[in-house]
Amino acid sequence: MLEMLMSPKKAERRPWELFFVGAFYATLAILITNWVFARDAVLSQYSSIFVITFTVMFSIPFMYYVIRYEEKKAATISSSWERLKEHRKALWAFLWLFVGFVVAFSFWYILLPTTDAYRAPVETYCQINRPGNADQCFAQYGIKDSPTSTQFATTNGERLFLIFTNNIYVLIFILVFSLIFGAGVIFILAWNASVIAAAIAIFSKSELSALPLALGRYFIHGIPEIAAYFVAALAGGIISIAVIRRDVETEKFWEILQDSLNLIIVAVVVLFLAALMEVFITPVFFN
């Protein structure tokens, strides 16, 4: 039933509606997790993983149908530029879905009385954003028995290199994952949404009134970064669907490969721009 909330064609005509679909999926995942697992002494410790799992389960049908729809367009449009323009519509739909995830996760992370539902994202946030004193960060947010922190580079040049190389690693992982199972890449993107939401909840100091400012803090560089990931996911997914449909046996397959390569190049360029924004632009507005 949930996969019928939005069809690929409707999503590309009115992509902003995916914001509400993403918010609904994320909210439903959190409510189900709290209802089913919150009272269990063991399973409650893994609530954050269950939240991501349910969000992914709800989203996979939509992701699959959109990627399949894009592969059909890639096989019928001969111009590379026209194919890129058509894929832009799917990218907007994915971005609105992601923003819905982030806003809903942030809202509930601020309201939830316990850190169990976002324990793993907070640990990731502390390791990335406060590497020198991650242990204090864990303790500050009520997390015990977390992995030992390590010291990372602090200069802008070193931070740019580390952020970009880490993002490239994620991009490669997304590309490989989408090649193996096109729609399954939503797991990585839902996880990134939960990490950003945890950072937003921390930045807002658990005050809903500060949520808009916190969203701006992480969306400045977060939206281009996630857009690059979605472009890579779309590139890998198109090839995956083409192989499933046996388009590999046709001449059109080489045009599909060229289309996917163009998407990957665009993703790498956007990812580098996002890293520049994170290091040099975001700190200008937010300390």
**CA diameter of the chain:** 58
Amino acid of residue 112: L
Q: What is the pTM of this model?
A: 0.77
pLDDT, position 26: 92
- Flag the least confident range among 66-70, 126-130, 278-282: 126-130
pLDDT, position 279: 85
* Residue 205: φ, ψ to 5°: 55, 40
- Where along the chain do its domains lie? 2-285
Report the alpha-carbon distance of residue 273 to residue 265 in Å, rounded.
Answer: 13
pLDDT in tens, 129-183: 555 555 666 565 555 555 544 445 557 787 788 888 888 988 898 888 888 776 6
- Flag the least confident range among 53-67, 146-160, 174-188, 250-264: 146-160
Amino acid of residue 184: G
pLDDT, position 149: 47
pLDDT, position 273: 94
How many angstroms separate the Cα of 47 from the Cα of each of 54, 106, 108, 115, 270? 11, 15, 13, 9, 33
Q: What is the mean pLDDT of residues 90-103?
A: 88
Which residue is associated with the tokens 């204090």?
136
Dihedral, CA of residue 122, residue 125, residue 126 and residue 130, to nearest 10:
-160
| Coil, strand or helix at 205 | coil
Q: What is the mean pLDDT of residues 175-196?
A: 79
* Residue 40: φ, ψ to 5°: -90, 125
